[in-house]
Amino acid sequence: MMRLLLQNSRRLLSVSILTGLLSGLSGAGLIATINLALNQAPGAFADLAWFFWGLCLLMVLSRVVSAFLLVRLSQNAIFRLRVALSRQILAASLNRLQELGPPRILACLTQDVAALAEAFRWLPVMCVNSAIIAGCFIYLGWLSGSLLVLVVATIILGLSSYRLIQGRAMGGLRMARECDDALYGHMRSLTQGIKELKLNDARRAAFLTECLEASALHYRRHYLNGMRLFIFAANWGNSLFYVLIGSLLFILPAYLGEVNTLNLVHVELTAEVLRGYCLTILYMMAPLEILVEGIPAFGRAGIALKKIQALGGATGEPTPGTTAARAALPRTPALELAGVLHHYAGGGDDRRFCVGPIDLTLQPGELVFLVGGNGSGKTTLALLLVGLYLPEQGEIRLDGRRVGPAGLEQYRNQFAAVFSDFYLFDSLLGFDSPELDAEARAYLTRLQLEHKVQIDNGVFSTLDLSQGQRKRLALLVAYLEDKPFYVFDEWAADQDPVFKNIFYGEILPALKAKGKTVVVITHDDAYFQMADRCLRLEEGRLFEIV
C-alpha cells in the first residue's frame, strides 16, 4: 500500500509524514509540560502556560495538515486504481474475461476497492497516532532510559503475541474473501433470475438454502473467526499496559530499592519519573488501541490488493488507444477470413468444440445472412468477425492487409453490432455530431418509439422498455454509429411482423445502399431472398446455401 501511495506522490506523502511526526512530538511535549507543571507548587507554573498553548496549537495544526494530505493522497490512489483496473478490464480479451467470470470481476471492482478505500481512510489516523507514540517514546527515554527498556520489552511481548494470533486471524479473513466471489455470483443469480425463482417455489427454496445462505454462512463463519482472534489479541495487548503501570506503581519501587542496596545497578525512581511514565503510558494507550483496531482493515486491504493485482495480471496490460484507432475508415473495404479457427474447451481436450477453419470474403456493400442451429457456432463466428475473439489459427485481412495485434483496436472500430445479449447504455456515448438529437428523434419516430423515449443532449429519458423495444433502441444506436460493417445477431427474434418488415425491408436495404457490409444472423427464411448470400454454419463448418 505504501508503494501504491509512493507511485502517486512522494512529495505529498513526505510532507504528510513530517507533519504527522511534528504532531506526535507536540503531543509528547504536552505530556512533558503537564508533568513539569504537576511537580511544581500551585500557581508557580505560569511561565509554562504559553508553552502549553503553543504546543496545543502546533499539535492541532500539524495533525489537521497531515490528515488532510493523507486523505487527498489516498483518494488519488483509489481513483487511479479504479481507472487503471477498468482500463485493464476494457483492454482484456473477451474470452479471458469470460473465463474469469462476472462475479470475480465485480467482487474485485466493488469489494476489494472498498477494502482498500477503508484502509486508506484509516491511514491518516494510523500515521498521526504512530507519530504520537514515537514522540512519547522520546519523552520516556529522556525521563529514564532504563525504564524505557522495560516499556519496550512489554510492547515487544505484546506485539509478538499479537503477530502470532494475527496470522491465524488473517487466514480467516482470506477464506472470507474467497467466499465473496461465490456470494457475488449468487447475488447476480438472484437479480437476473428473479422471474424463474418466483415461478418455482422448490427452486427458490433450494437456491436460498443451498446457494445463497450456504455461501453467506461460510463468509460469516470465516469472517467471525478472523475478527474474534483480532479482538482477543487487541484486548490482550491492551491489558499488558495496565500490568506495566501496576508494576511501576507497586512492584518496581520495592525491587529497585533492594537492587540499589546491593549496589548492583543504580536506577533512580523519583516521583517525577514515576508520574511521567504513568501519564505517558496512559496517554499512549489510546493511540496504540487505535493502531491495533486499524490492523484488520490493513489486513483486509492487503488481501484485496493481492486480488486486484491478480486480476490485473489475469487480464493483461491495457493497450493504449489512439486517435487512429477511434476513427472509422472513409470507405467500406473488403474483409477476408482465411483459415480462421477457434476452440471452445469442453469436458476435456478431446471434447473441444471447434469453429472453423473458416474461409470467408465479404465485399463492400454486401448483405449476408448467416443461419444455423443452436450451438452451431454462429455467435462465435460473429465475435471472431468483429475481433472480440482472436483466431487461434488463420488470419483476418482488411482491404488485403493482415490485422495484427497493433491494428486490432482500429479493426474493431469499423464495426457496429447488436448482439443477442446486447447492453443498452442510457446515453449516446462517443458521438460528437451537433445534429445528434435531431437524427435520433427521426429514427425514434421511424421505429415507433417516440411515444416511449425522448432524447435530450444525447441522453434517453428511459430504458424501462420491453425487450423488443430495447432492441429497436439498440438498433438506433448502431445505425447512428455509421460504421463500415454491421453485425446483427438474431435482432428480429423479439420483434412483431411490423418491425420485422421494417428491419428487413427498410433498415437493411438502407445500409446496403450506403455501401455498408452487413452480416445478419437469422432464422427468418421468409426474407432469405433479400440477401446477396446466405451461409449456413453446421458444427463449426461454414457452407453457402445455393
SS3 content of the chain, % helix, strand, coil (to 5): 65, 10, 20
pLDDT digits (tens, 9 = 90+) for 432-463: 777 888 888 888 888 888 888 888 888 888 88
Architecture of the domain spanning 2-170+245-315: Up-down Bundle (1.20)
Of residues 467, 523, 466, 489, the one with CA closest to residue 419:
489
pLDDT digits (tens, 9 = 90+) for 46-59: 666 777 788 888 88
Residue 104: left (phi > 0), alpha (psi -120 to 50), or beta?
alpha
**8 Å CB contact between 540 and 353:** yes
Give the whole-angstrom CA distance, residue 166 versus residue 271.
Answer: 38
Of residues 219, 217, 186, 216, the one with CA closest to residue 204:
186
Size of the chain, expressed as the number of residues it contains: 546
User: C-alpha grid cell for residue 323?
Assistant: 486517435
pLDDT digits (tens, 9 = 90+) for 229-279: 777 776 776 677 777 777 777 776 666 554 444 443 445 567 777 777 788
Please name every residue paired with 344 in a beta bridge, in sequence order, or none if there are none.
353
Report field, pTM of the whole predicted structure over 0.75: no
**8 Å CB contact between 333 and 399:** yes
pLDDT digits (tens, 9 = 90+) for 58-94: 888 887 887 777 777 777 777 777 777 777 777 777 7
Please name every residue paired with 543 in a beta bridge, in sequence order, or none if there are none.
536
Cα dihedral 489, 467, 508, 455 sign:
negative
* Angle between helical axes of 113-143 and 47-91 (0-180°, round to 10): 150
Report the 10 Å Cβ neighbour count for 512: 18
Of residues 348, 356, 375, 478, the one with CA closest to residue 422:
478
User: C-alpha grid cell for residue 348?
Assistant: 476435456
Report how far apart, in Å, the C-alpha atoms of 67 and of each of 10, 16, 74 are. 16, 7, 10
Query: Domain residues of the chain, as ranges?
Result: 2-170+245-315, 326-545
Q: Which amino acid is at 392?
A: E
Please tell me the predicted confidence (pLDDT) of residue 367. 92
**8 Å CB contact between 193 and 186:** no
Question: What's the CATH class of domain 326-545?
Answer: alpha beta
pLDDT digits (tens, 9 = 90+) for 150-161: 778 877 777 777
